[in-house]
Structure 1
Amino acid sequence: MDQDPSTTELFEHTVLEAENGQRIDAMLAILLDAYSRVFLRKVVQDGGARVNGEVVKPSFRVKEGQQVELDLPPPPVDGPQPEDIALDVLFEDDYLIAIDKPAGMVVHPAKGNWSGTLASALAFRFQQLSDVGGVTRPGIVHRLDRDTTGVILVAKSNAVHLRLSEQFEQRTIQKEYFAIVVGRMELDRDVVRQPIGPHPYQRDKMAIRKDHPQSREAETRYEVMERFEGIASVKVEPKTGRTHQIRVHLDHVGTPVLCDRLYAGHSRISRGEVLRRMARKEPPQAGDEEVLLARQALHARRIAFTHPISGKPLTIESPIPPDMQSVLDVLRSR
């Protein structure tokens, strides 16, 4: 792979104890998650990686304390292709937009998800959006996981984007989520303060990592709304905005989000399975095999902030989506 030195960035890293024995391409894929592992392997294969000054191959296994250097090309800069995708607009004025994001929609283009994104839908529908976040994230001020539904803010201008970002950084924006969790929640309400960093073994997960150099402080408040046997619904208010924060913190207290493939170990649930989790010993009924939910039961229900232009308080809410509501209906019927 021929690289232009004027556009190539030197990435440097000292191998940590937790990374000892990993293949260099696998380690780099975790550290540099803006790039695909296939792309990074190609860079290494073409002589772009050095360990203690020696060029290595993708299969090279690193050791703690070694110095890794990588000649890193810039990430793709092409903007999203506009796509005619329906959007549920909760609020719009001359300055900003609030979208009710559906399950299964990725917010912005990334490895493996170049089409069908919220960014592509926004590019098609709106003529003017901020570009503070880069060409791949037009207007997008914050993000939600692919299978998390609910309110997401979009800025029409750079000035609005920066003012909203400042509110997020100062933690003056109030975000409220609604979740259905599995297990017995010991307390009616609590605050979880645990740092979050990369999972030591699974690159698509995050974990509580108290001493990891990439860990960042994280705080989540929760309150139980309804209790059922083996399941509960909770209101969650994250005070920070770390990747997978709510999912990791709820798992940490022993009650992962229902149907969370990464942290709960299952990705769908039927009516019969809901009843079994409630320890209901009822005879099978018609409709028990109907799948009620096929994604994590997490919804960004409410966001409250100061309008960046008028200075007035603004609250935007999204109703509980039908799939989560169907689970609640079965729980409440018993």
Structure 2
Amino acid sequence: MPAPPPPELPTDLIVDEAAHGARLDAYLAAQLPGLSRSLLRKAIDSGAVTVDGQRRKPSFRVEHGQSVHVDAFELPHEGPAPQAIDLDILHEDDDLIAVNKPAGMVVHPAKGHWEGTLASALAFHFGQLSDIGGAARPGIVHRLDRDTSGVIVVAKHNRAHEHLAAQFHDRTTEKRYLAITQGVPDRDEDVVDRPIGDHPHSREKKAIRADHPSSREALTRFNVLERLGGFALVECLPKTGRTHQIRLHLAHLHCPVLCDKLYGGRSQVTAGELESGAAGGGVVLARQALHAADLSIFQPTSDHRLTFRAAIPQDMQAALDCLKRG
């Protein structure tokens, strides 16, 4: 079902008896179905909404007979345009979708990436999804970096979105990643417990920084599954979910993710380099060798534990095959 068009603004509303006691943002979302609740919260905070001529907070409880004025305000870019992009669906039910995202696909539209996104593919295949994240992020509860492949879950409606988001916030989800590292960790098992914050010089990067206003705790467990000469296949179990967490923590161990240009200094590798240490043989891998292999969550309605698994992708498997021949 297509989303309703945005209402004409400015507009004036009178609170009826049935809406008495409702939060202001919830009341407006019900009265103006073409606008998301998150967008209306921003409008309220900006002063575009008044109640009996006074500015109020989104949590303000409206009363029967009050006059609510909504002034014209800037609407965000429209949501992602539906695009007929094939998706590898791992699971679908009435509440959620689990997708095996390919490397190279951006999760949602952003500057420089307006087309070919996961959000555009979801809009084509599923239509209306949760809108808590805003028009540009329908259904998106969490994200993966563009060049990280693997499992991502999407909420079909707002109740499921809130339930899933709470699991990520409360850290009741279980995430398992596979990485090929350039360099071999010293220990078979290790834990990196180092806070992550903004990089002091680069807006693209994050950095391990203690006692900085932007820093937040970050913990990752690592298990070496296989040693392959100067490389390794490593299982990564992040307890927290900071931006670039696994990539940064592995770089901290002096074993960056293979082909991680941002933290490892290179963006591709050839078969010859992996097999014999000499250039040649064609490029085998041209993105960071990081894959979200498993994700366990509680199903929002039944509360049963669900685990979604995505097989290791062809490019990472090809790199591993080269290393085993070396």
- The TM-score normalised by the length of structure 1 is 0.74
Give CA-to-partner distance per residue, 1:183-211, whole Å, 9 cap, x none: 13111111111111111111111110112
Aligned-pair CA distance for 1:316: 0.5
Contact 2:222-2:236 at 8 Å conserved across structures? yes
Task: Indicate yes or no: 2:118 matched with 1:118.
Answer: yes
Instruction: Give secondary structure in 1 for the equivalent of 2:159.
Output: helix
Instruction: Give secondary structure in 2 for the equivalent of 1:87.
Output: coil
Give CA-to-partner distance per residue, 1:245-264, whole Å, 9 cap, x none: 10000001110000001011
Contact 2:219-2:239 at 8 Å conserved across structures? yes
Equivalent position amino acid for 2:314 in 1: P
Corresponding residue for 2:275? 275
Equivalent position amino acid for 1:119 in 2: A
Corresponding residue for 2:284? 292
Corresponding residue for 1:202? 202
Corresponding residue for 1:225? 225
C-alpha distance in structure 1 between counterparts of 2:123 and 2:169, whole Å: 26
C-alpha distance in structure 2 between counterparts of 1:75 and 1:273, whole Å: 51
Give CA-to-partner distance per residue, 1:84-125, whole Å, 9 cap, x none: 111111111111100110011000111111111111111111
Aligned-pair CA distance for 1:289: 2.3
Contact 2:179-2:257 at 8 Å conserved across structures? yes
Instruction: Give secondary structure in 2 for the equivalent of 1:263.
Output: helix
Task: Indicate yes or no: 2:322 matched with 1:330.
Answer: yes
Corresponding residue for 2:51? none
Give CA-to-partner distance per residue, 1:120-170, whole Å, 9 cap, x none: 111111023101111110001100000000000001010001001111111
Aligned-pair CA distance for 1:276: 4.0
Contact 2:275-2:325 at 8 Å conserved across structures? no
Give CA-to-partner distance per residue, 1:16-52, whole Å, 9 cap, x none: xxxxxxxxxxxxxxxxxxxxxxxxxxxxxxxxxxxxx
Q: How do residues 57-96 of structure 1 correspond to structure 2 at under 5 angstroms?
A: 76-96=76-96
Corresponding residue for 2:182? 182
Give CA-to-partner distance per residue, 1:64-96, whole Å, 9 cap, x none: xxxxxxxxx979442111111111111111111
- The TM-score normalised by the length of structure 2 is 0.75
Q: How do residues 94-109 of structure 1 correspond to structure 2 at under 5 angstroms?
A: 94-109=94-109
Equivalent position amino acid for 2:300 in 1: P
Change (3 A) 1:299 1:200: same
How many pairs does the alignment contain? 255
Give CA-to-partner distance per residue, 1:229-270, whole Å, 9 cap, x none: 210000001111111010000001110000001011000001
Corresponding residue for 2:70? none
Equivalent position amino acid for 1:225 in 2: L
Corresponding residue for 1:20? none
Change (3 A) 1:154 1:209: same
Corresponding residue for 1:41? none
Contact 2:194-2:218 at 8 Å conserved across structures? yes
Aligned-pair CA distance for 1:333: 2.3
C-alpha distance in structure 1 between counterparts of 2:238 and 2:74, whole Å: 33
Corresponding residue for 2:149? 149
C-alpha distance in structure 2 between counterparts of 1:74 and 1:221, whole Å: 44
C-alpha distance in structure 1 between counterparts of 2:76 and 2:233, whole Å: 41
C-alpha distance in structure 2 between counterparts of 1:182 and 1:262, whole Å: 14
Equivalent position amino acid for 2:313 in 1: P
Equivalent position amino acid for 2:83 in 1: E
Instruction: Give secondary structure in 2 for the equivalent of 1:129.
Output: coil
